[in-house]
Structure 1
């Protein structure tokens, strides 16, 4: 079925009225993605990164979530679903404020977001979602390229992102949000 036909502007309320399981992302009321299922390579990278964060965060206040889960970037607990016009489904995110974890979705900007590129989503991840995450105040944003085996890390500096570096499969990277967390990319990217 999908989103209601004949409309060009959607709210989260429209999305919640859909009776079937349906995945889509919307920025400023416009559908930006209704992607096919991810490839095995894409999903393996997401799973490996999720494992790293889940193990590191065990017993801590922050939680890691992997897709699919909706993130209503500019909402708070009082925002009516009819007023929510931006929601995304990052491949992986970390939320440190338990008040942002709603019953059905994440409310507001996560602390860290990771997007793993797919050929069909690369433009959105690098441009549309990058700008939305920056505007929403996501503190750390990673763009992971499973095909070139690289990770670009951006950190919010005031209201704009600055690139902290680009890391390859042989690198050990430090997570900016958690200075004592390191990830050996050999465990993430498999030849």
Structure 2
């Protein structure tokens, strides 16, 4: 198990107990969160169902947490060299070569984070900046308590917020042409 105030590699992480999940950026643990709340998990599950149904039979694939995303890794890197991995709530990967046997190698096309009280700072600041830097094409921040979705799209090297959507809205998925989600199916009173 990890010690505090130390830098870690993905190789070390892979040797730990399988039940231990954490996120690491620049070798430092940024999150060892408790299990998500039922409300959080319901929103993740509903979004996952929408993406899975739309993508069935298509090139892109959707994955829900826990799945390790090695944001800045490349295929030829050894696990000892990888110092960044996160576990977004939901991702879409359109380049199948990024899908490794144990993880995702490089930036997904879409990342969705569903806020929890314990993860809000990471999702809005730390992970936001790293997703932007890694080249994630589209980033959603979903607030299950206020029933809203903020959408950010990569414009050159930085995210532009392209909209804020509420329960009664439909959200177009920018990286997947022809796909729109009715948020009334995602958020429940």
TM-score normalised by L of structure 1: 0.97
What is the match of residue 18 of structure 1?
A: 16
Task: Give 1:20 deviation, angstroms.
Answer: 3.7
Q: Distance in 1 between matches of 2:18 and 2:79?
A: 18
What is the match of residue 59 of structure 2?
A: 61
What is the match of residue 107 of structure 2?
A: 109
Name the SS of the counterpart of 1:115 in structure 2. strand
Q: For structure 2, which runs of at least 5 residues remain unmatched after alignment?
A: none
Report how many aligned residue pairs link the two structures: 189
Q: For structure 1, which runs of at least 5 residues remain unmatched after alignment?
A: none
RMSD between aligned alpha carbons? 0.9
TM-score normalised by L of structure 2: 0.98
Displaced runs of 4 or more, over 4 A: none
Task: Give 1:130 deviation, angstroms.
Answer: 0.2
Q: Distance in 2 between matches of 1:6 and 1:77?
A: 29
Alignment of 1:1-191 (within 5 A): 2-3=1-2, 5=3, 8-191=6-189
- 1:51-95 deviation digits (Å, cap 9, x = unpaired): 000000011000000000000000011011111110000000000
Task: Give 1:7 deviation, angstroms.
Answer: 5.5
Q: Distance in 2 between matches of 1:54 and 1:88?
A: 21
